[in-house]
Amino acid sequence: MSDLWPFPSARNLAASCVLLAVTSGFAPPIQAEEALVTAPYSVLRQELDAKLDFETLPRRPEPGIPLEAAMREGHAWLGERLAGQQVTGHPHDTLSGTPRAPLAIRPGPPGANLSVAQHRGFGSNALFPLGPAGFPALEARGEGSVAILFDHGQRALGLRIHSDYAAPLGGASSPGTLTIAFFRRDGVRIGQIRRQLATGITDLGFRRAGGIADIAAITVTNDDPGGIALDDILYQTAPMAF
């Protein structure tokens, strides 16, 4: 079950009904201009015309290729955080602070930004946000934060997260949680979603209530014991055209 923030007053019953219809549990009503609702990844895959799949880089086994600067992929920039945010925490990155307008991507320090590697769970290249332990340490892979800044405002997004492999004989740590924050181009946070992860791949999809194409950036953090990998991030190259 996902938790959505912020929780405004109960005057917008229509937005509440939409949200309750697409979540597995109770959530208070939220204002339409601040709403995020879940959507099937399989549906968004048909609707949206682009994805970030990291296949422009060579396929290298883990630990893969470290990326020390902001990464340009498709119609987006990727890095550790948005300008104005601070990173703390160990072994997982935690983001704080308010992004500055206009939004800009900032990379992490050397060895603690991002890496791309061939991922056996996805069967393709995937993105690893690197934590404080630094590349190429196993305990850094997937423990970091990642920010994605899109060229155009988005009204829907999808992504796939691999959180850990199931232990054949049991005894593995329980999966952690994923936190995704959504921002407008002026740095205002639209909302934040926290999702409990399962082992293996979790497909996620989100829409902006009312079809407002103002999602300019997202940040992704986690506290999963094994870290996460990201792949197949769905978005629209020209969202105002549909």
Summarised one tens digit per residue, pLDDT across range 80-136 is: 999 999 999 999 999 999 999 999 999 999 999 999 999 999 999 999 999 999 999
Rounded Cα gap, residues 17 and 10, in angstroms = 11
**Cis-peptide into 63, omega within 30 deg:** yes
Question: Residues 212, 33: contact at Cβ < 8 Å?
Answer: yes
Q: Return mean pLDDT, the chain.
A: 86
pLDDT digits (tens, 9 = 90+) for 218-241: 999 999 999 999 999 999 998 655
**Cis-peptide into 29, omega within 30 deg:** no
- Give the predicted TM-score (pTM) of the model: 0.84
Identify which has the larger pLDDT, 36 or 7: 36
Residue 218 belongs to what H/E stretch?
A: strand 215-222
- Nearest Cα to 173, choosing from 237, 227, 95, 238? 227
- Nearest Cα to 234, choosing from 177, 161, 141, 142? 161
Question: What CATH class does 37-241 carry?
Answer: mainly beta
Q: Quick check: helix, strand or coil at residue 234?
A: strand
